[in-house]
Amino acid sequence: MARRVDPHEAIWSPEETPMRLLMEQVPGLLWTTDRNLKICMQWGMGIAATKVRPGALIGHSVCQFLGSADRHSTPISEHYDALRGVVSHFEYIWKSSVLEIRVGPLRSASGEIVGCLGAAVDVTGRKQSEEQALFQARHDALTGLANYREFMDRLEREVHRAERSHRSFTLLLLDLDGLKRINDLQGHLAGNRALRRLAAVMNEHCRSTDLAARYGGDEFAVVLIDSDRGMAETVAQRIERRLHSDSGQPPLCVSIGIGVYPDDGRSPAELIEAADQRLYRHKKTQAHRAVSAV
């Protein structure tokens, strides 16, 4: 019985066998299509998340392969652009993977566009590493809260957003009272635990749209989106009560100041200054009460 010829295999002459072996070992996937976006050829080692056999895509449309039928959205629109001579480079989430895809025109010997040429590489691991590096660059390693850089960027963005929407938002500045005393008497490990306990309480009383940050040694902040002074005071009181009821040792206390956009200012610096002044007055009052109680 004659051996059935694989059409994917038949295009290669004996002289071209080394090229065929090379194409089969290219990382990712390469494909060509006709003008109807029907896949004519396929090479490469495939994508790790899905086991695509050599030649398995031939005869299927790009829409079936990439799981999208909308010619006006990624990744199908880029194939139609390629039929007009446009080269595209983009990322696309496919199944559980992030693909980096390049699509361009496939031309005949005469230069006529006869289809598309596509190439995809799985960059999921790289994206995860990039996201982890970005997170570490913008978050405090000890508490996991946003750091000073992220806090200032977010505050700046929120000011611009509030200018456009004409809505208010508030800023809380928090100072962990007595951190130096904790460090001196119980050591820095106890001080670090105290910082993490405060961070956990802040996260507990923040919505997913808010931002909790550590922007100094014992200085913290919360940006409360779409909020007014009343809401800010409520959140501040909840944080204070939660710390007061915490059974962890040593007992923790915070001083909190509030800044309200636009009542207290229309720039990050003005809001921080207003909140800082109120925090200072709160801390001074706390110290006076402590002295009076002695």
The answer to whether residues 140 and 52 touch, using CB atoms and an 8 Å cutoff, is no
**Residue 18 pLDDT exceeds 80:** no
206 pLDDT more than 50: yes
287 φ/ψ angles, rounded to the nearest 5 degrees: -65, -40
- Which residues are known to be catalytic? 218
Are the C-beta atoms of residues 58 and 150 closer than 8 Å to each other? no
The pLDDT, as a whole number, for residue 7 is 42
With a cut of 70, say whether residue 15 has pLDDT above it.
no
Tokens 């060509």 appear where? Answer: 32
- Comparing 265 with 24, the larger pLDDT belongs to 265
| Angle at alpha carbon of residue 110, lines to 86 and 9, rounded to 5° | 85
- Burial of residue 15 (CB within 10 Å: 0-12, 13-18, 19+) is exposed
Q: For 97-150, what is each residue's pLDDT tens digit?
A: 888 999 999 999 999 999 999 999 888 888 889 888 888 899 999 999 999 999
The phi, psi pair for 28, rounded to 5°, reads 85, -155
β-sheet with 211-214: strand ranges across: 211-214, 219-224, 169-176, 254-261
Q: Residue 210: is it exposed, middle or buried by C-beta count within 10 angstroms (0-12/13-18/19+)?
A: buried
pLDDT in tens, 218-237: 999 999 999 999 999 999 99
Q: How far apart are CA 170 and CA 270, in angstroms?
A: 12
For residue 171, give the 3-state DSSP assignment.
strand
User: Which among 47-51, 243-247, 272-276 has the top mean pLDDT?
Assistant: 272-276
- Mean pLDDT rounded to a whole number for the chain: 87
pTM: 0.66
> Could you tell me which residues come within 8 angstroms of residue 55 by beta carbon, excluding any fewer than 6 positions away?
6, 7, 8, 9, 42
Domains and CATH numbers, the chain: 7-128 (3.30.450.20), 138-293 (3.30.70.270)
